[in-house]
Each structure stands twice: as structure tokens, then as C-alpha cells.
Amino acid sequence: MPNTSATPDPDLAATAARVLPGGGFGNFPPEVVIRDGSGGRVWTEDGREYVDFLLGSGPMLVGHAAPEVTAAVQAQVPRGTTFFASNRPGILLAEAIVAAVACAEQVRFVSSGTEADLYAMRLARAFRRRDKILKFEGGYHGMSDGALMSMAPTRPSNFPRPVPDSAGIPRSVQDDILVAPFNDLDAVARLVREYRDELAGVIVEPFQRIIPPAPGFLQGLREITAEHGIPLIFDEVVTGFRFAYGGAQEYYGVVPDICTLGKVIGGGLPLAAVAGRADIMAHFDRARVAEADFLFQVGTLSGNPVASVAGLATLEILRRPGTYDRLFATGRSLMSALRELLQRAGIPAQVIGEPPLFDVVFTGEAIRDYRGVLRGDAALLRRFNAKLRARGILKAESKYYVSLAHTDDDIRHTIGAWEAAIEELKAEGAGG
């Protein structure tokens, strides 16, 4: 068990403030410094204990320090931690991905979801010999220049013109990105037909952040792209092995041409992948394509053996009978409880998502796309999240990740924290 007797270290906070911009890693509020994790809980350096719905931003689907994953890592480390060359664990993990994921005929490993999405878009460009990528407003595809277009615009522009989300992105990037509204098949169809001779590919989160696809949207997107020979890319960095063993493409019954994977496949260690049709993946193989069509890709830690054994151990757990039934049951009970508490308090809110991944948006309107989320009361959500953290619930700004390690006690604690926090919000005037 983690050591819960630690005392705060003021020198650590001072050191962080001195050596890190903003005093942290840029991922999460810097005052939260995690010391230990076990199962569905984490402990901070100041000794606070939390039910953890952050889960390292999603990788810890089977829980922190899962014994089988830990044992696999401990067995591999004495044998070598990285080689740059091919290795058995990486090859076996690729084989497991190909067996599980419908679109995956071949796999190329990288170290992060950002890399995977960047190379997936580059792969589509190499295959189509075109430059433009169509993405969806509010869709998150990592930190590359092309991905950081209309990912979280506070003032959305007219479609299909993108809005850069960060300083330091060349203006020229805007010319090669088209942006469409999620869940609007008619708008996508118009853009694909208008730009079909310039489009390299279409990239989409099949489940966009916390927004499920509308019935028929993914199927229609598959039909439109196939009609024009344009590769469809599913960004499954989040949904891969989370919604089903075969990912969102199994869960929603739609198979793309290319997908990206991350988070779960590394078992908590840095690992991600691009997977897809063999004829498209051939562009990574110099022997199979013309020199001008070869996509150059190397990475020091790609296919890292330690990350690969952690991924293999994680996938072994996920293959066990009843695993996803249990995960979904936990998520459904949480979503139902949160929805009921908010309705009872008379606070306008939508609990949206799928059982393994959901959140609340404080609005009385139904949500279909990013702009629907943007119309929610973000300040009220921040207050709610702060009250929950004070009651031992750790989560991202707009996401609850559910794990197999969350226990009945974790669920009871969470519902109790929700109930108390919602009562406070109501007393403060939320919901009128």
C-alpha cells in the first residue's frame, strides 16, 4: 500500500516554481503533485487521498500499479529498457493489435498520441498525394501544428476556416486544414464534395471528447469518404481498447482506413501507434513504394520493450470474460447517479458520454457538437470540480475516466461527494 504518512514538502513546490514554467508540467494544476497510485486511488505529496478519475489522462484503465502489469515491467527491466531495434515484446504487441482492431492490418509504433495523429495525417497525405486534412471543430488530435486548429476556439469562425489554438503556429498551416461541425453529416458531405480533389484525409474522434456520435453519423462519414477514395482516420488514442476490445470501431460498428492508438496500449508507459490498411501502411516501407512516396519515420523509443510488455499485460486483463461488462456497469451506475442528483436539485445539466468516459455540462440544451459544450456554464463546472477535489475526487477539467479498479467504496465515495457538492451549488443559487 502507498505510504500515506508523508508530510508536505515546501521545498518541492519552491523547486517546481523555479524550474518549471508555471510551476508544473502544463497538464494539470501544479498544486496537485501525485506521489503514489494504487488501484482506483492516488495520494499526493501532502498526503491527500483521492478517488482517481483522471487515471493519468486515461492510460490506467486497469488501475494504478496493477500487479500483472507491474510484474511484466519488473521482469523486462533487467533484460534491457530500450534497443531502438525491433524486439519480441513490440512484435507481439503489434500482433495483438492486428488481431483486435478491425482496420489494423499493420502497425507502426511511436511514443505519444501526438506523434500517432501527426503521422496518420502525414500517411494520408503520402497515400493521396494531396495536402488538405478535414477535421472537426472541438476534436483533439494532439499537439502538432495541424492538430491545434479549432481544437478549443473560444470564438469559433465560419466553417471550414480553422482557428489556431496556440501561439507559434505558422499561418500557412491554416491553408491545409478544413474544419467541419461534428455530427453534421450534411455539412461534411458538402465539404468533401467541394474539396475532394484537394483532400488527403478526414480525421475524427469517433467519440469526440465527451460527445457521442449521432446515429448514422459515423456510418455516413464512412460512406462519403469511401465514395471519393479519401482515407478516413479514426483517432482512437482515447477510445482504443476502452469502449470495446476492438475500440470505438467495434463499439460503433464502423471501420476506418487508418486509426491511431495510445494510452491503454502502453499500460501507463509512453507508447502509441498508427494502424491501418496494408496498402496505406506500405508508405512506411521504402521497399514497397517509390522513393517520392516513402514516409520517413523513426523514433528513439518507438516499440519500447518495457512499454510493450506493460501493454501486453494490460490487453491480457482486458481479454478476460466479463471485463467490459464490469467497466460499463460501473460507468452506468455513476452516470445515472450524477444525472439523478442534478435533476433532483433542479440544476440544468446534461450528463453526456459513454459509461467508460463521461462528464456533466451545465446547460439545459441537448449537446451534439463543440458549440453545444461551449454554451454550457464553464464557471459553474469549475466550481463543481473544485468542490469535488476538496472532497477527495480527482478528475480532468471536463472528463471522468472510469477504470476496472474502481471499487464499490470508490463509487459510494464519489456519489456522496457529488451529493454534498450539488447541495452547496444549489444553496449558492445554481439552477435558479
Enumerate the domain spans of the chain. Answer: 10-65+322-427, 67-318
Q: Which CATH class is domain 67-318?
A: alpha beta
pTM of the model: 0.95
| For the ranges 23-27, 29-33, 63-67, 155-159, the one whose mean pLDDT is highest | 63-67
What are the C-alpha distances in Å from 320 to residues 50, 246, 317, 336?
Answer: 28, 14, 6, 26
Alpha-carbon gap, residue 214 to 368, rounded angstroms: 7
HSE toward the beta carbon, residue 102, CA cutoff 13 A: 16
Dihedral (CA of 52, 55, 58, 63) sign: negative
Q: Please say if the pLDDT value at position 6 is more than 80.
A: no
Alpha-carbon gap, residue 391 to 413, rounded angstroms: 9
pLDDT for 338 equals 98
pLDDT for 9 equals 78
Alpha-carbon gap, residue 240 to 273, rounded angstroms: 11
Give yes or no: 140 in active site. Answer: yes
Our CA angle for 241, 244, 245, nearest 5°, is: 55
Which of 52, 132, 135, 140 is an active site residue? 140
Which of 52, 235, 369, 410 is an active site residue? 235
**Reading across the β-sheet that carries 34-38, which strands appear in turn?**
34-38, 41-44, 49-52, 393-394
Q: Please say if the pLDDT value at position 83 is more than 80.
A: yes
Give yes or no: 359 in active site. Answer: no
pLDDT for 53 equals 98
Alpha-carbon gap, residue 43 to 55, rounded angstroms: 12
pLDDT for 266 equals 98
Q: pLDDT tier at 10 (50, 70, 90 boundaries)?
A: confident
Q: Please say if the pLDDT value at position 260 is more than 80.
A: yes
Q: Do domains 10-65+322-427 and 67-318 have the same CATH topology?
A: no
Q: Please say if the pLDDT value at position 353 is more than 90.
A: yes
Which of 263, 387, 395, 399 is an active site residue? 263
Alpha-carbon gap, residue 263 to 58, rounded angstroms: 6
pLDDT for 8 equals 64
Q: Please say if the pLDDT value at position 54 is more than 80.
A: yes
For the chain, percent of residues with pLDDT exceeding 90: 95
Task: Please count the helices (runs of H) and the strands (runs of E) in the chain.
Answer: 13, 14
Averaged pLDDT, 126-140 = 97
Averaged pLDDT, 89-110 = 98
pLDDT for 155 equals 85
pLDDT for 256 equals 98
pLDDT for 3 equals 52
Averaged pLDDT, 387-414 = 97
Give yes or no: 263 in active site. Answer: yes
Q: Which residues neighbour 430 within 8 Å (Cβ) at sequence distance 6 or greater?
A: 345, 347, 362, 380
Q: Which of 4-13, 242-251, 288-297 has the lowest mean pLDDT?
A: 4-13
Alpha-carbon gap, residue 117 to 164, rounded angstroms: 17
Which residue's C-alpha cell is 464519489?
414
What are the C-alpha distances in Å from 424 to residues 268, 388, 390?
Answer: 36, 11, 13
Q: pLDDT tens digits, residue range 102-124? A: 999 999 999 999 999 999 999 99
Q: pLDDT tier at 43 (50, 70, 90 boundaries)?
A: very high
Q: Please say if the pLDDT value at position 199 is more than 70.
A: yes
Q: Who has greater pLDDT, 403 or 11?
A: 403
Q: Which CATH class is domain 10-65+322-427?
A: alpha beta
Q: Please say if the pLDDT value at position 303 is more than 80.
A: yes
Answer whether 44's CB lies under 8 Å from 50's CB. yes
